[in-house]
Amino acid sequence: MGQIIDTEGRVCEQTKWHSRQKHAFLEEYLNIWSEQVGKDGKSNPPTLDIFDLFASFGFCYCPEEKKTWKGSALLAAECLKKYQNGKLLFLNTYHPDEKELQAQKKSLENGLSNIHLPGRVKTVIESLPIEKAVEAAISHVNLNYPSLWILDPYQPEHLPWDIVERICKLEGSYQIGNRKITRKPELFICLMTGRLQRLTGIEKEKETVGIAMGLEETIWKAKLENYRDSDDNTRRALISMYAEKIANFYKKPPIILEVPSTDGNIVYTVFLCTDHDAGHYVMKLHKLTKYQEWRKIEWEKSAETISAKKKIQRKAEKSGQKQLFFE
Ligand SMILES: C[S@@+](CC[C@H](N)C(=O)[O-])C[C@H]1O[C@@H](n2cnc3c(N)ncnc32)[C@H](O)[C@@H]1O
């Protein structure tokens, strides 16, 4: 959504309040690393590399709520700082407009310098379009050790399925006793299902849907029809198709989180993919519950207030009154 200055003068990504949910969920996931895998006393836990390919400004700011919070890149940095064997932070912050790109990069660097990462964490910052960014990131990865990839674009078309597949296909291994275990990167993907849903109904956008889903038009259309026949809606159909594509590469189905906006409509869907038993079950059994509690207490109340304000605003606008709420 572009840049905005917050109440403390920081240049941030202008963000809707619903995005706070995505970051809270990501934070719960990253906490598995910093609070559980790397708990004090555990000797020599594995190294961890984090790749955030849509890193943006670092901080997010919601003007309606007047709140600032850490975006994916700074959350990743905090995690690698806390986790005793955090090793690499690879951030890609890109914008097609050079001025915007420089603004994003500068704010990201400022945000990072305030985190004071320890010397063991190497930081790489790139500013490349996603096709090049993924190759640059791959050149840094050691597949025999854990890596986490964050893919959080504005639009589904900014993340073609080919890019996701390139990462899903990466594979390394590690040894437990005599057993050789396959290691795959862990993936956090934000798919803009709300927009994708709309695009399925627009003739000239059909190709975009195919690129984001990695499916030919005849195939996704036929699947959409099948789901419709079984009383499922377009969004659910798209989510199932995407999850099926990911499941071809991972042994465990992705953990799926649908993120509503303040009006209750689902805006996007987060897919969390990991083959790792502990990560998968801790997330499913404990962290999702913790996240849901957070959501009820901290998000829903303000979301209700915002949507009530919006309703009054719409009413006022219809009757020609000047609006006071979103100054
Ligand atoms: C939703 S924002 C990312 C927010 C960030 N993950 C956070 O939590 O703060 C999407 C980012 O993708 C960038 N972007 C747009 N087109 C891109 C492209 N083709 N390749 C890579 N990044 C792109 C935008 O400039 C923006 O910084």
The range of the structural domain enclosing residue 268 comes to 3-318
- Read off the CATH number of the domain in which 113 is found: 3.40.50
- Evaluate whether residue 323 is within a structural domain: no
Q: Which two tokens stand for residue 207?
A: 């190709």
C-beta 188 within 6 A of ligand 1: no
Query: One-letter amino acid identity for 324?
Result: L
- Can you give the pLDDT at residue 40? 64
- Evaluate whether residue 71 is within a structural domain: yes
- Can you give the pLDDT at residue 242? 95
Number of domains present in the structure of the chain: 1
Q: How far is the CA of 178 from the centre of ligand 1 (A)?
A: 43
Question: What pairs with residue 259 in β-bridges?
Answer: 268
C-alpha span between 271 and 134 (Å, rounded): 18
- Evaluate whether residue 327 is within a structural domain: no
215-244 pLDDT tens trace? 999 999 998 888 776 656 888 899 999 999
Q: Where are the alpha helices (DSSP H) in 123-200?
A: 130-138, 161-168, 193-199
- Evaluate whether residue 10 is within a structural domain: yes
C-alpha span between 255 and 238 (Å, rounded): 15
List the residue whose alpha carbon is closest to atom 15 of ligand 1: 95
Tell me the pTM.
0.91
Query: One-letter amino acid identity for 127?
Result: S
- Evaluate whether residue 326 is within a structural domain: no
Q: How far is the CA of 14 from the centre of ligand 1 (A)?
A: 12
Which residues of the chain have a pLDDT value below 50? 322-327
C-beta 2 within 6 A of ligand 1: no
C-beta 21 within 6 A of ligand 1: no
- Evaluate whether residue 238 is within a structural domain: yes
Q: How far is the CA of 127 from the centre of ligand 1 (A)?
A: 10
**What are the distances in angstroms from CA 159 to CA 119, 122, 150, 322?**
32, 26, 12, 40
- Evaluate whether residue 178 is within a structural domain: yes
- Evaluate whether residue 229 is within a structural domain: yes
| 85 in Cβ contact with 46 (< 8 Å) | yes
C-beta 107 within 6 A of ligand 1: no
| 260 in Cβ contact with 267 (< 8 Å) | yes
Ligand 1 pocket test, pick from 30, 67, 68, 154 with the greatest ligand atom count within 8 Å of Cβ, gives 154
